[in-house]
Amino acid sequence: MKTDILGVQFDNLTLADAVERGVRLVSEHRAAYVVTPNPEIVMAAAKDGGLMRALNAADLVLPDGIGVVYSAKILGTPLTERVPGIDFASGLLARLAEKGGSAYLFGAKPGVAEAAAEKIAARYAGIAVAGTQDGYFDDDAGILADINAKKPDFLFVCLGSPKQEKWMQAHAGKLDVGVMAGLGGCLDVFAGNVDRAPEKMRKLGLEWLYRLYREPARIGRVARLPGILVKAAGQRGKGANHG
């Protein structure tokens, strides 16, 4: 059962359910892909039909952002919980480590994926990091060939939105991977370049505030986020008027 938030069809799952679904997709080994839209991505999709199609063609659409969860409440179709992409990735890595699975890290600035690979290998004993590739490239062919040679269970695609979502949709049929996920800047977190908010702030849905405190330049992006709540209220109002 999908939950429609301004046209994006979200899966209503707990984090544990999402990880379980990810494990199942890995076992199917059909290059399924996972997207993790936050409010900014949802708002962008309303203006970008290609992004909207890429999001809704995904095998798993997870609500990464408290604004998405609040919008669902406003619309009268509440989501069970926020499911951050990095928590989904961490959970899936932990499960794959139990069975000697593999991951391929694709994206971010040069050197970041390699640093993340070292940290992931140390943290998740049993995970084989099959390969790394930064996000600065001119031609997909060599990257696709390298990924397919490694046949990873889990492919991180960290190119930023909308590039990562469109890339996964465009190349899913050409890839020999278990599952891939569009995970934005999470390689920087795994590499230790960016700190996550304290757990208490994450549980309160205040990770955005912590990131703003650490990166004041994000103020322009944060200022746009209440727009999703306004749009959700408008959609709810239209529904009531037509009811």
Radius of gyration of the chain (CA): 18
Number of structural domains found in the chain: 1
Q: Are 130 and 100 contacting, i.e. CB atoms less than 8 angstroms apart?
A: no
How confident is the model over 193-205, as a mean pLDDT? 70
Range of the domain at 90: 2-242
What is the model's pTM?
0.88
Mind listing the pLDDT tens digit for each residue in 19-67? 999 999 999 999 999 999 999 999 999 999 999 999 999 999 999 988 8
Mind listing the pLDDT tens digit for each residue in 89-133? 999 999 999 999 999 999 999 999 999 999 999 999 999 999 999
DSSP string, 89-136: HHHHHHHHHHTT-EEEEEESSTTHHHHHHHHHHHHSTT-EEEEEE-S-
Quickly tell me which residue has 């960290």 as its tokens.
Answer: 158
pLDDT beyond 50 at 241: no
